[in-house]
């Protein structure tokens, strides 16, 4: 069997010579893409916000206003103490005190309103950036060549889209406002402390450099743990995708391996729990130390103020001390916020690096400059000395296809037969340019496929494979995947041509019947005929049948074969066949062995030649 397997498995040809390495690391599966350097990484992160310049400008203004207003109340407190509660002239000055209290309340109210507006802006920008990043990554993955998906676990790809992008959500949402707001607050608080009393200000900030150094070391540790955590999440997602899909459940139940799968998931889950605890705990001692230091400063300020007053080194007032400690208390949360943002940025750098690794992957198959649509579709397919080796094949391995040449004329029914692993399915991948020929030329309607826009090329080719993929949706929705604007009449016409309409009509919900995960609510023959109807709705000029009936029983095969005969009528048809009984009426049969076309001719001509085809046919006789 040389077809594709469900879940993005690779052709059998690629398993020869031990080419699959199940122990490949995720970095290898991502084509060894290197993580961007930190300065470049920061530049790219900033670039994500470029489309939101206007909202960011408003956010910056709001942050500056809020930060400026946040240090106003402590200064008003000093005046309230010195001019309102304990003025030099004697008793409390109630009018002055009322004005000062009113200004403080106004400052609090204004700050709160600005904070609500600012939160809405940052949430909108941050989530928009995160959503755009996720779509950008998904779009880029859609452009990757088939070989990328055959060597990368689906769960790993899902983890990049969900876990990694979701992991940077907090940074994208809160970083700008947090950095700006806390920075301005810290600077304004420091300026206010200097204005109040420069000696006490020195006491308050003397140990800050030590805290900054410690924070940087903690951030490095958390970044390493974060990378390991995301890798573990990728593995857990991959295990979930593999074992909880319909195919995975059937496999584990068939071999009574549920306990093994539970143990495998449990082991990775234990690793994830350990990493999450490590990530949460890393830095906790640091923040505890910072909190103790900043919380102890007021007590130290009282002591230093007493020493200064005793020695006559200052004329500090009670209002100044209260205002100073109030400012210093307001410094605690902004400073902790800045340090947390710095740690989050260091931690998230590992996640951003993983995301950009995928975005930096260059698709191996892209439209050439000046690529054009197929100008005149004739359905003629030609291989001109085509050589091909899979990208991860050992350097000394023989190529999968070796100087293969043939021509299939418009409207012909051509079949490719041969032993498993001979290269038959590879031929079907090169025609729509799912893989790039290593040498020679593949021509479609007389034009090298490398000179054609791939979307235009594939739009003229229909493929029916052995492993039919149906979405967990209705039959109608699965059919309309080929032609979204198709009418009910067109759906019925395609289904009738594929010999499946009567079966669909017998279902209680008809074309609105939900087929289940991968179509498991339908039989193998029914799924195959729905797939044929889907291709007929596309109405391609070239039809590729890749082992389309080899997995079916004899009765289902006859029904599906009749549908295929109808589908191939009037089209260039290329059949990759295992059961030779399905291609005895082919106009031309190519026998592939060892990556070469060793025989060609009609069924009767090849039988008369007594070569490889005759041997294969004799093996399949009852």
Give the tens place of pLDDT for each residue, 303-361: 777 877 777 666 677 777 777 777 776 666 677 677 777 767 766 777 788 888 888 88
- Gap between the Cα atoms of 5 and 96, Å rounded: 83
**Mean pLDDT score of the chain:** 79
Given a cut of 90, whether residue 88 has pLDDT beyond it is no
pLDDT of amino acid 119: 80
Q: Are strands 588-593 and 381-388 parallel, antiparallel or unpaired?
A: unpaired
Q: Indicate whether 293 pLDDT > 90.
A: no
Residue 26 has pLDDT above 70, yes or no: no
Query: Which parts of 206-281 fold into alpha helices (H)?
Result: 208-243, 246-254, 258-281
Question: Taking a C-beta distance cutoff of 8 angstroms, is the pair 48, 133 a contact?
Answer: yes
Taken in order of first residue, the domains within the chain and their CATH numbers are 48-359 (1.20.1560.10)
The token duo for 465 is: 């494979």
Q: Phi and psi for 326 in degrees, rounded to 5?
A: -65, -45
Task: Quote the pLDDT of residue 192.
Answer: 75
More confident residue, 71 or 130: 130
- Position 253 scores a pLDDT of 66
Given a cut of 70, whether residue 8 has pLDDT beyond it is: no
Check whether 34 has a pLDDT greater than 70. Answer: no
* Whether the Cβ atoms of residue 130 and residue 163 lie closer than 8 Å to each other: no
Least confident of 210-219, 267-276, 278-287, 476-485: 210-219
Residue 598, pLDDT above cutoff 80: yes
590: β partners: 416, 600
CA angle in degrees (0–180, nearest 5) for 243-144-520: 35
The first and second tokens of residue 571, run together, are 């089209």
Tell me, what DSSP letter sits at residue 82? I
Q: What is the DSSP string of 283-335?
A: THHHHHHHHHHHHHHHHHHHHHHHHHHHTT-----HHHHHHHHHHHHHHHHHH
| Overall average pLDDT of the 386-392 stretch | 88
> In the prediction, which pLDDT does 604 show?
94
Per the listing, tokens 């900054």 go with 212
* Residue given tokens 């007594």 in the structure block: 610
Q: Please provide residue 551's backbone torsions phi and psi, each rounded to the nearest 5 degrees.
A: -95, 5
What pLDDT digit, counting tens, does each position of 216-265 carry?
666 667 767 777 877 787 788 777 767 776 666 666 766 677 788 888 88
Cβ-contact 117, 144 below 8 angstroms:
no
Has residue 56 got a pLDDT over 70?
yes
CA dist., res. 613 & res. 620, Å (int): 11
**SS3 letters for 453-516?**
CHHHHHHCEEEEECCCCCCCCEHHHHHCCCCCCCCHHHHHHHHHHCCCHHHHHHCCCHHHCECC
Q: For residues 66 and 547, what is the distance between their CA atoms, to the nearest angstrom? A: 68
For residues 376 and 445, is the Cβ–Cβ distance under 8 A?
Answer: yes
Per-residue model confidence (pLDDT) at position 2: 36
């Amino acid at each position: 069997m040389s077809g594709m397997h469900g879940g993005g498995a690779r052709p059998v040809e690629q398993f020869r010579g031990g080419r699959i390495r199940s122990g490949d690391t995720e970095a290898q599966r991502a084509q060894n893409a290197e993580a961007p350097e930190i300065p470049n990484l920061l530049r790219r992160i900033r670039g994500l916000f470029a489309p939101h310049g206007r909202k960011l400008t408003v956010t910056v203004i709001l942050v500056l206003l809020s930060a400026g207003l946040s240090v106003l109340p402590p200064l008003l407190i000093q005046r309230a103490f010195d001019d309102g509660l304990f003025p030099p002239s004697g008793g409390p000055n109630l009018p002055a005190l009322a004005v000062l209290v009113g200004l403080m309340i106004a400052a609090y109210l204004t700050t709160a309103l600005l904070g609500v507006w600012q939160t809405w802006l940052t949430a909108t920008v941050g989530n928009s950036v995160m959503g755009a990043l996720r779509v950008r990554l998904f779009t880029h993955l859609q452009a990757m060549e088939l070989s990328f998906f055959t060597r990368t676990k689906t769960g790993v790809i899902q983890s990049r889209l969900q876990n990694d992008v979701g992991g940077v959500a907090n940074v994208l949402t809160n970083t700008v406002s947090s950095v700006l707001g806390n920075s301005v607050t810290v600077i304004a608080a420091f300026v206010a402390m200097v204005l109040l009393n420069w000696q006490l200000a020195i006491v308050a900030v003397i140990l800050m450099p030590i805290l900054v150094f410690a924070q940087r070391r903690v951030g490095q540790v958390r970044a390493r743990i974060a990378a390991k955590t995301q890798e573990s999440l990728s593995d857990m997602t991959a295990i979930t995708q593999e074992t909880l899909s319909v195919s995975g459940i059937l496999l584990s139940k068939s071999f009574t391996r549920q306990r093994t799968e539970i143990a495998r998931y449990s082991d990775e889950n234990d690793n994830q729990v350990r990493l999450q605890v490590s990530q949460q705990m890393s830095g906790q001692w640091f923040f505890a130390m910072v909190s103790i230091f900043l919380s102890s400063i007021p007590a130290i300020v009282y002591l230093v103020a007493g020493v200064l007053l005793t020695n006559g080194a200052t004329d500090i007032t009670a209002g100044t001390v209260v205002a100073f400690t109030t400012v210093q208390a307001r410094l605690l949360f902004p400073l902790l916020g800045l340090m947390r943002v710095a740690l989050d940025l260091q931690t998230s750098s590992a996640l951003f690096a993983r995301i950009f690794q995928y975005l930096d992957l260059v698709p191996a198959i892209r439209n050439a400059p000046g690529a054009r649509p197929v100008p005149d579709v004739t359905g003629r397919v030609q291989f001109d000395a085509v050589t091909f080796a899979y990208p991860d094949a050992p350097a000394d391995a023989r190529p999968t296809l070796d100087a293969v040449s043939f021509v299939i004329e418009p409207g012909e029914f051509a079949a490719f037969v041969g032993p498993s692993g001979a290269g038959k399915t590879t031929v079907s991948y090169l025609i729509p340019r799912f893989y790039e020929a290593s040498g020679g030329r593949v021509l479609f309607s007389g034009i090298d496929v490398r000179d054609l826009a791939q979307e235009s090329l594939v739009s003229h080719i229909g493929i029916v494979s052995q492993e039919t993929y149906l979405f967990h949706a209705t039959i109608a929705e699965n059919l309309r995947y080929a032609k979204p604007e198709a009418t009910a009449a067109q759906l019925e016409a395609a289904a009738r041509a594929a010999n499946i309409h009567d079966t669909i009509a017998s279902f209680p919900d008809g074309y609105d019947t939900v087929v289940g995960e991968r179509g498991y609510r339908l039989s193998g023959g029914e799924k195959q005929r729905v797939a044929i109807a889907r291709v007929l709705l596309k109405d391609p000029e070239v039809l590729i049948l890749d082992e389309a009936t080899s997995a079916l029983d004899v009765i289902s095969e006859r029904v599906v074969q009749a549908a295929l005969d109808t589908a191939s009528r009037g089209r260039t048809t290329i059949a990759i066949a295992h059961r030779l009984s399905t291609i005895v009426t082919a106009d031309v049969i190519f026998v592939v062995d060892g990556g070469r076309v060793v025989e060609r001719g009609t069924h009767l001509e090849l039988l008369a030649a007594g070569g490889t085809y005759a041997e294969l046919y004799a093996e399949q006789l009852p």
